[in-house]
Amino acid sequence: MAMKLIKKTADYKVFKRGDERYAVQDAAGKPVNGEEKVKILLSEELIKVSLPGESVAEEAEAEEPAEEVAPEEEAAPEEAAQA
């Protein structure tokens, strides 16, 4: 699977790989990775970054009922010891 050239500038080249992801090379042809790659792809509007704010709130709500169940389980052994 060959990579398709999406955009070429004086500073970098953006390719679309066969697995539908993006590859970025600098002017010397070396791969660009990490935050620099993300900045380039964002500036070209090829990717969108979303903050994980909503998923964290959902996890916190899911943890609350689990905490309420724990004291009930602790009370059960005490009742068995009294009998």
Q: What is the pLDDT of residue 67?
A: 53
To 10 degrees, the CA torsion angle through 18, 15, 21, 57?
A: -170
* Three-state secondary-structure class, residue 8: strand
Tokens 């790659």, residue located? 37
CA separation (Å) from 24 to 10, 27, 45, 81?
Answer: 13, 10, 14, 67
* Two structure tokens written together for 11: 């500073």
Predicted structure pTM score: 0.57
Q: What is the pLDDT of residue 42?
A: 94
Q: What is the pLDDT of residue 31?
A: 95
Q: What is the pLDDT of residue 52?
A: 78
Mean pLDDT of each 10-residue bin along the chain, 83 residues long: 90 94 94 94 89 65 56 57 59
